[in-house]
Amino acid sequence: METRANHVWVGAVTLALLVGLALLVVWIARLNHPAQDRYDIFFKQSVDGVARGSAVSFSGVPIGQVAEIALWEKDPQYVRVRIAVNRSVPILVGTTASLQGSFTGVTTIQLSGAVKNAPPITAMGPLGVPMIPTKASGLGELLSSAPVLLDKLTELTNRLSNVLSDKNQQALSDILSNTDRLSSNLASAGPDVKATLLELQGTIRQANYTLASFEKLSDSANSALNDDHNGVVTQLHETLKAATAAAASLQALADDARPGMRQINDRTLPAAENAIHDLATTTKALRELTDQLKDRGVGSLVGGPQLPDYKH
């Protein structure tokens, strides 16, 4: 009986020592792991490669790990990832979460975009912990757009198949043959083209000479017209001045001769009109006489008709 009691005491002491050792291990583990805050992240994309214990980093610095991962019951198209982050890390408004993949297949959660002096994220999400918004990463955007890219690639392949059909290949072969023939014709016509270019260069050179001569002529004409001493404009100006003076003199002379002209109009003009009428009559008679001499000869004035001409 006493031996059995000793065994009970030994077992109880051993159990107490084991519990104390476990509590000591937990306490030491908590000393090595600082206090952490939990946040929920809702990804509307595949989170392949993320699992419990996956690393969470902020701008490449490890700050925690994934605590839970599951589909959201209210909307299965979202994946809810709960992360545990060291409390000393400031998760501020403006921080976003994205998936960071690697060639080894391991995916981590990357936090970035905190704004200095911004308040911390404290608004509770639908499951009682603060929620960090997501931002599509390059890999996520690539995976989400992969079906569209595959459709575009398929369409492009079909179009290339249509372009490279037998009919189009024959047409392309004909085009290359025609291009080769055209190149040969151009090569054979090279000397003629060179001669034509030389003639064109000569024509252009002559045109340049002609243009230079025309410019010299234009400069000479401009100097001849606009010379202040011997220019045509100056001479015309002097001529106009002389003509103006002559017109003034004629106007004065006309004013002085106006009384005499009035007397001429009263006496001389009627006699002049009679003389002009007689002169017109005489001129008419002389014209008739001239026409008669031209048609009938001098014999028509002496008298007697002309004898007819006989042909032998």
Highest-confidence segment of 88-102, 184-198, 202-216, 253-267: 88-102
80: number of Cβ within 10 Å? 21
Least Cα distance to 34 among 83, 81, 68, 85 occurs for 85
What average pLDDT score do residues 87-93 get?
89
pLDDT in the model for residue 79 = 93
The boundaries of the domain holding residue 205 are 189-224
pLDDT in the model for residue 65 = 93
Q: Which residues contact 108 (CB under 8 A, 6 or more apart)?
A: 50, 54, 55, 56, 57, 99, 100, 102
265 and 164 in a single domain? The answer is: no
pLDDT in the model for residue 29 = 59
Highest-confidence segment of 78-87, 112-121, 217-226, 272-281: 78-87
The number of distinct structural domains making up the chain is 4
What average pLDDT score do residues 6-28 get?
75
Query: What does the alpha-carbon distance between residue 176 and residue 205 come to, in Å, rounded to a whole number?
Result: 39
156 and 112 in a single domain? The answer is: no
What average pLDDT score do residues 128-143 get?
75
Strand, helix or coil at 37?
strand
Residue 24, pLDDT > 80, answer no
173 and 163 in a single domain? The answer is: yes
Residue 219, pLDDT > 60, answer yes
Query: What does the alpha-carbon distance between residue 48 and residue 107 come to, in Å, rounded to a whole number?
Result: 7
Triad 226, 228, 233: Cα angle to 5°: 45
Q: Which residues contact 130 (CB under 8 A, 6 or more apart)?
A: 37, 39, 40, 91, 121, 122, 123, 124
Q: Which of 38-52, 66-80, 130-144, 179-193 comes out lowest in average pLDDT? A: 130-144
- The partner residues of 56 in beta bridges, in order of sequence, read 64, 109
Task: Check: CB of residue 42 under 8 Å from CB of residue 131.
Answer: yes
What average pLDDT score do residues 198-216 get?
81
Query: What does the alpha-carbon distance between residue 49 and residue 101 come to, in Å, rounded to a whole number?
Result: 8
Query: What does the alpha-carbon distance between residue 243 and residue 250 come to, in Å, rounded to a whole number?
Result: 10
pLDDT in the model for residue 26 = 66
Residue 268, pLDDT > 50, answer yes
Query: Is 20 a member of any domain?
Result: no
pTM of the predicted protein model: 0.40
Q: Which residues contact 157 (CB under 8 A, 6 or more apart)?
A: none
220 and 259 in a single domain? The answer is: no
45 and 84 in a single domain? The answer is: yes
- Structure token digits, residue 226: 């606009």
pLDDT in the model for residue 177 = 83
Residue 111 burial class via C-beta count within 10 angstroms: exposed 0-12, middle 13-18, buried 19 and up: buried
Query: What does the alpha-carbon distance between residue 264 and residue 271 come to, in Å, rounded to a whole number?
Result: 10
240 and 281 in a single domain? The answer is: yes
78 and 129 in a single domain? The answer is: yes
Considering only residues 56 and 161, tell me which one the structure prediction assigns the higher pLDDT. 56
143-187 pLDDT per residue, tens: 556 667 778 888 888 887 777 777 777 887 888 888 888 777 777
Considering only residues 252 and 207, tell me which one the structure prediction assigns the higher pLDDT. 207
73 and 98 in a single domain? The answer is: yes
Query: Is 260 a member of any domain?
Result: yes
